[in-house]
Amino acid sequence: MSRNGDGGLRFVVVTTNKGKAEEFREIFRRYNLKFRIEPLDTPEIQSMDLKEIAKRSALYAYNMLQEPVMVEDAGLFIDALGGFPGPFSSYVFKTIGINGILKLMEDINDRRARFRSAIAFYSPLTEPVRIFTGEVSGWIAKEPRGAKGFGFDPIFVPAEGDGRTFGEMDVEEKNEFSHRARSAEKFAKWISKFKEVPPPYR
């Protein structure tokens, strides 16, 4: 899906996650950015660093598409579990899921956690790869609440909120202070400064 704005460089948001795509659309429309969503699969990159994963994914996506690309990687870091699942959040969600995390937290009182996001943007026009990060602190709920959002949203309660989980918030509400919104806002402000170079993607 395209967004025909007139702000900044035209670029491609690379993600197969419909929830992420919806959140990015809501944020980028505020800046009237020119972009499209491309559901391109990127290789599973083994790294403990979200920024490194996003960077390598962006370079892969650029090599495939030959257009300016933006890729995001995110993770849930739980204090009592030593930062687990962290950069492996997507894999952990697919394997043990929300209930698996709640099982690991069953007898743990310290439920502090944080979501982190790393956005990588690459274009030969703006080399090297640019990285933008965001973070939100909160805690793990005792049980899932809400059916909105995706991933671990139903068990994460942001400290800056009103006690609801991300899974109980609309996209606009979540984007007020989510990790992804924070990294996306930084990126949007940065790319808005650039003018399109005709023809596109050259």
73, 107, 153, 162: the catalytic one is 73
| Residues whose CB is less than 8 angstroms from the CB of residue 9 and which lie 6 or more positions away in sequence, other chains included | 34, 68, 123, 125, 126, 191, 194, 195, 196, 197
Residue 79 catalytic? Answer: no
Number of residues written out for the chain: 202
Instruction: Name residue 137's beta-bridge partners.
Output: 114
Closest CA to 76 of 21, 118, 113: 113
What's the CA gap between 176 and 155, in Å, rounded?
18
What's the CA gap between 115 and 60, in Å, rounded?
25
Active-site positions read: 73
